[in-house]
Amino acid sequence: DQQVKQNSPSLSVQEGRISILNCDYTNSMFDYFLWYKKYPAEGPTFLISISSIKDKNEDGRFTVFLNKSAKHLSLHIVPSQPGDSAVYFCAAIWNTGNQFYFGTGTSLTVIP
C-alpha cells in the first residue's frame, strides 16, 4: 500500500533551467511533507518541508508547492546546478504519527 508515490523514476535537466519533481499521496491525514536528497553512499539529507496549512514554502533555490485538494506536492529547483544531481525522496507524516511514508524517489541529473 504505497501512500506516497513518485511516478517519475528519473529526470534530466540542463544546468540553469528549472527542475520540477512531483509527488502524490493518498492519505488525507498527512499534514507535514518533506523532501530529502540522497547522494550515492550517503544517507538522505533533509532539504525542505511544508506544513499542510501552507501551499508554498521557499528556501533559496528550492520551493515546495502543496495542493491539498489534488493531494499533490512538487519541488522546484531554480536554477538547477550539476551538484543537484541526486535522488530526491518526498515523505509525509501526520501530526501525531511516528513514521514517515516515503516515495520511491526520483533520480535527477543536471547536465552541465
- Asked whether position 35 contacts other proteins by CB under 8 A, the answer is no
Which residues face 92 on adjacent strands? Answer: 33, 101
CB of 47 to other proteins, least distance (A): 10
- Asked whether position 16 contacts other proteins by CB under 8 A, the answer is no
Nearer to other proteins, 49 or 74 (CB): 49
* E strand segments, the chain: 4-5, 10-14, 19-25, 32-38, 45-51, 56-59, 62-67, 72-77, 86-93, 101-102, 106-111
Nearer to other proteins, 11 or 79 (CB): 11
Which residues face 64 on adjacent strands? Answer: 57, 75
Name which of residues 37 to 96 contact other proteins (CB under 8 A). Answer: 41-46, 49, 51, 89, 91, 93-96
CB 42: neighbour CB atoms within 10 A?
9
Rule CB under 8 A: which residues touch other proteins? 4, 6, 32, 34, 36, 41-46, 49, 51, 89, 91, 93-105
